Structure 1
Amino acid sequence: MAEARFNGLLIGGLLALAYLAPGPARAADSIKIGLVTDLTGMAYLLAKDNGEGAKIAIDEINRAGGVLGRPFELLVRDSALKTDLGIAAARELVLDQKVNFLFGSISSAVRLAISDVAKQYKVPMVDSVGGSRRLVEDRGHDYFFELSLTTRTEAYGQAVGVSKLKGKKIITIAPDYEWGRLEHEGFLQPLKKLRPDIEVVGEFWPKLGEKDFTPYITAMLTKNPDMIWSALWGGDFIAFVKQAKAYGVFEKVTFIGTGEPSALQALGLDAPEGIYAFDRAPVYAIDTPAMKAFVNAYQSTNGRLPTAWVVFGYEAVQLVKYGLEKAGTDKPEAWIRAVKGATVPLLRGPITFREFDNVSNSPVYFGRLARDPKYPHLILKDIDKIGVEPSMISVEEVKRLRDAAR
């Protein structure tokens, strides 16, 4: 019932068929962005925040008169973590609504399918979530732009952070589906090179949406690891933490997991202090004037910190705006030429897109969870900002993967 009430609110707000700021600019043809995302199911909080960030950016742009003399319009569809719904929604947005740009879902599988639609109909797509490396590697194409992190770049940043920790025996736990498998692969491959002395003494693969982690926790402890690395996210991470605390896991083992505010805000001060964690955009630690202004405005309106998902939704619209202004037109090929290889000023600072495959050099932030009197939840402290360029495979390797996938 709670989820039904929540989704009902979304239908009245974010999940309205179209969002367009009122005013004289409405008379002009709008620049349409189609957002297909997972507003039903376990990812709905992430999807809500991501869409909210896009809506905030569009509000600001439209109040300032739009871009190229035209307002932005956001059309939102719910893919509900289902590939067939994502494909149908993307096609409807492209063929019936004539959107100029597509934004993708939380699910990597759904996003891969939407990306295929973008390629087929030659509509630029901005990934404001991040996920499977396949999005920019074997399934990548000129119309797809990766604003966030992939399983290769994100997991590499974690491997760099973990390589500096003490201990030689490590256990991994990751959700048993494609993203979890690729994140696990992306973590262990560089870790073994950075720390060949580390031994993996156990791998655990709970299903996505697992409720009872007790069998996994007890099995882990019997192996006496020095470290546990977790790729659990959302409700899975929250459930694992609550159950693991009862077994004293965080006092016995060096634990590495997510530091994303969605989970930390849900856990509050019950989150385990002192564990190591990573985040894609810890807004309280990114010292750019644009981010400071954004965080202050968001907190004054919402009473909480914006999550990374809000930030990336906002930045996706910033990226669209940048390309339109640079190209001076909404023609897809001109927009693509304007953004390929560009260094774009965003909330997090300048982000560069590699010219061949449109993958960004978005960094990973790695630190330890600690209390701060300014916040009702734990935040990352002693943060190391880790560049991900060393993890990017060569252009030649990307070409080989794409050729093999044809």
Structure 2
Amino acid sequence: MNFRIAAAALFASLAFCTSAAAQGTLRIGELNSYKAQPAFLEPYRQGWQLALEEINAAGGLLGRRVEVISRDDNANPGDAVRVAEELVSRERASLIFGTFLSNTGLAVTDFARQRKVLFLAAEPLTDKITWQNGNRYTFRLRPSTYMQVAMLVPEAAKLRKKRWAIVYPNYEYGQSAAETFRKMLKAAQPDVEFVAEQAPALGRIDAGPVVQALADAKPDAIFNVLFAADLAKFVREGNTRGLFRDRAVVSLLSGEPEYLDPLRDEAPIGWLVTGYPWYSIDTPAHAKFLEAYQRRWKEYPRLGSVVGYSSMMSIAAAVRRAGSVDTEKLVEAFRGVEVDTPFGRVSYRASDHQATMGAFVGRTALSEGRGVMTGFRYVDGASVLPPDAEVLKLRPQQ
């Protein structure tokens, strides 16, 4: 009789523990450069928080409430690796996502390879994340430097400008974008010449000498890769010195409200850019997101908002597909998974783990005292990615 009582008690205890585990939280780690890049990353945080709330309101994942443990990586690769280790080891996160700068993204990419933990690189743009340094455990959401340059080069070639100058921040993202632009434009327009190049340190541009050096080279057109505060200083100094007068400018990311809005009526006019014209996108998917975002945060979204939201929804789609948070099952689930985003449905390619999210290409203009994008079109990321056979040459065997 005592044995039966003990067995029943043990069974009840095991059942309780199993139930408690099922009802426990599913922990996801997130790291980013919130203090260093607040213009992009505060909207990004609001984006993933909105998605997280929607996921939990619908019952969570695998019957469990989802919790995101977020840390700042101080925009430093060493700190990013330390934080990633803390999230995995101490916080017991099942996977990690985030990073903004390409150098921090690459550091965490290598961490994911060594520790065999799934990492979704939400924002860093360097091609190395999915190609040269790509690995089984790393996926990337945003369109890469290669993809965004490929969206701009056909329009740049139509300008038929022969003498080009390039300005970019001197770290992985800027170097990668500049090199890709040179190669692609030369292929599209063999007679092109690159007559000047300026590469100021990230966040430390001395805009006067940079603008003057570009003006002295007398280029027909400029390719710009600067962003955030560097871009604002460059634009203001360029306006003052007449650098952009009667001169074509092709500019990566400059149509994103994070970078246009601070310039207000000083925003450039007529630049060919990639960006996010949230105020004029007329699709059901975007309208639904816009309404939910404005209701929750009482402000309009930025591109960071879309990236944060889509990152969280990508993780949710992969977890549901895997039916588990086991790393190897998640890796297989992410390969080819389809995700509904504010830009429409995207998928993660099995060949290089790059998402097919696209970007908007258009021209900058002024409207009611602020910079906007006009004449834009959405370019599907899948249309500017190399085929799988080419990826095999770019990406090490995994």
Q: Shorter-chain TM-score category?
A: 0.7 to 0.9
Question: Which whole-Å deviations, capped at 9, do the CAs of 1:153-184 have from their partners, x for residues lacking one?
Answer: 12222222312224222111111112111110
Q: Supply the distance in 1 between the matched residues of 2:338 and 2:133 (Cα, whole angstroms).
A: 24
Q: Is the 8 A contact 1:156 1:388 kept in 2?
A: no
Q: Does 1:115 align with 2:88?
A: no
Q: Does 1:275 align with 2:271?
A: yes
Q: Is the 8 A contact 1:47 1:105 kept in 2?
A: no
Q: Supply the distance in 1 between the matched residues of 2:338 and 2:139 (Cα, whole angstroms).
A: 13
Q: Does 1:385 align with 2:381?
A: no
Q: Is the 8 A contact 1:370 1:380 kept in 2?
A: yes
User: Which is worse superposed, 328-337 or 55-64?
Assistant: 328-337
Which residue number corresponds to residue 293 of structure 2?
A: 298
Distance 1:167 1:50, change over 3 A: same
Which residue number corresponds to residue 316 of structure 2?
A: 321
Q: What secondary structure sits across from 2:64 in the alignment?
A: coil
Q: Supply the distance in 2 between the matched residues of 1:346 and 1:59 (Cα, whole angstroms).
A: 16
Residue 300 of structure 1 and its aligned partner are, at CA, apart by: 4.4
Larger radius of gyration: 2
Residue 199 of structure 1 and its aligned partner are, at CA, apart by: 2.0
Residue 393 of structure 1 and its aligned partner are, at CA, apart by: 4.2
Distance 1:30 1:133, change over 3 A: same
User: Which is worse superposed, 363-372 or 184-193?
Assistant: 363-372
Q: Supply the distance in 1 between the matched residues of 2:39 and 2:210 (Cα, whole angstroms).
A: 26
| Among 331, 338, 359, the residue aligned to 1:343 | 338
Question: Which whole-Å deviations, capped at 9, do the CAs of 1:343-383 have from their partners, x for residues lacking one?
Answer: 3222211112211221122223211112345xx62211111
**Match runs of 1:134-153 below 5 Å:** 134-153=128-147
Which residue number corresponds to residue 284 of structure 2?
A: 289
Q: Supply the distance in 1 between the matched residues of 2:216 and 2:42 (Cα, whole angstroms).
A: 39
**Match runs of 1:13-52 below 5 Å:** 28-41=23-36, 43-52=37-46
Which residue number corresponds to residue 175 of structure 1?
A: 169
Q: Supply the distance in 2 between the matched residues of 1:96 and 1:380 (Cα, whole angstroms).
A: 45
Residue 334 of structure 1 and its aligned partner are, at CA, apart by: 2.1
Q: What secondary structure sits across from 1:360 in the alignment?
A: coil
Task: Tell me how many residue pairs correspond in the alignment.
Answer: 377
User: Which is worse superposed, 381-390 or 325-334?
Assistant: 381-390
| Among 365, 373, 378, the residue aligned to 1:370 | 365
User: Which is worse superposed, 281-290 or 233-242?
Assistant: 281-290
Q: Supply the distance in 1 between the matched residues of 2:339 and 2:297 (Cα, whole angstroms).
A: 27
Q: Supply the distance in 1 between the matched residues of 2:268 and 2:294 (Cα, whole angstroms).
A: 24
Which residue number corresponds to residue 242 of structure 2?
A: 248
Q: Supply the distance in 1 between the matched residues of 2:396 and 2:56 (Cα, whole angstroms).
A: 42
RMSD: 2.3
Q: Is the 8 A contact 2:351 2:391 kept in 1?
A: no
TM superposition score normalised by structure 1: 0.86
Distance 1:26 1:157, change over 3 A: farther
Which residue number corresponds to residue 12 of structure 2?
A: none
Distance 1:26 1:267, change over 3 A: farther
**Match runs of 1:159-170 below 5 Å:** 159-170=153-164
Residue 80 of structure 1 and its aligned partner are, at CA, apart by: 0.6
**Match runs of 1:203-218 below 5 Å:** 203-218=197-212
Q: Supply the distance in 1 between the matched residues of 2:215 and 2:289 (Cα, whole angstroms).
A: 43
Q: Is the 8 A contact 2:106 2:129 kept in 1?
A: yes
Q: Supply the distance in 2 between the matched residues of 1:345 and 1:221 (Cα, whole angstroms).
A: 45
User: Which is worse superposed, 50-59 or 87-96?
Assistant: 50-59
Residue 186 of structure 1 and its aligned partner are, at CA, apart by: 1.5
User: Which is worse superposed, 97-106 or 295-304?
Assistant: 295-304
Q: Is the 8 A contact 1:26 1:71 kept in 2?
A: no
Which residue number corresponds to residue 93 of structure 2?
A: 99
Question: Once the two structures are aligned, what percentage of the paired residues are identical?
Answer: 28
| Among 338, 351, 354, the residue aligned to 2:349 | 354
Q: Is the 8 A contact 2:99 2:124 kept in 1?
A: no
Q: What secondary structure sits across from 2:287 in the alignment?
A: helix
Q: What secondary structure sits across from 2:245 in the alignment?
A: helix
Question: Which whole-Å deviations, capped at 9, do the CAs of 1:27-48 have from their partners, x for residues lacking one?
Answer: 922122211111232x233222
Query: Partner amino acid for 1:177?
Result: Y
Q: Is the 8 A contact 2:131 2:396 kept in 1?
A: no
Query: Partner amino acid for 1:306?
Result: P
Distance 1:113 1:60, change over 3 A: same
Which residue number corresponds to residue 193 of structure 1?
A: 187
TM superposition score normalised by structure 2: 0.88
Query: Partner amino acid for 1:321?
Result: A
Residue 390 of structure 1 and its aligned partner are, at CA, apart by: 6.0
Q: Is the 8 A contact 2:359 2:378 kept in 1?
A: yes
Query: Partner amino acid for 1:38?
Result: S
Distance 1:226 1:401, change over 3 A: closer
Question: Which whole-Å deviations, capped at 9, do the CAs of 1:278-299 have from their partners, x for residues lacking one?
Answer: 12x4333443322212213323
Which residue number corresponds to residue 10 of structure 2?
A: none
Q: Supply the distance in 2 between the matched residues of 1:286 and 1:124 (Cα, whole angstroms).
A: 33
Q: What secondary structure sits across from 2:196 in the alignment?
A: strand
Q: Supply the distance in 1 between the matched residues of 2:376 and 2:176 (Cα, whole angstroms).
A: 25
Q: Is the 8 A contact 1:158 1:364 kept in 2?
A: no
Q: Supply the distance in 1 between the matched residues of 2:344 and 2:169 (Cα, whole angstroms).
A: 32
Q: What secondary structure sits across from 1:246 in the alignment?
A: helix
Q: Is the 8 A contact 2:200 2:206 kept in 1?
A: no
Residue 331 of structure 1 and its aligned partner are, at CA, apart by: 2.1
**Match runs of 1:57-136 below 5 Å:** 57-136=51-130
Query: Partner amino acid for 2:112?
Result: A
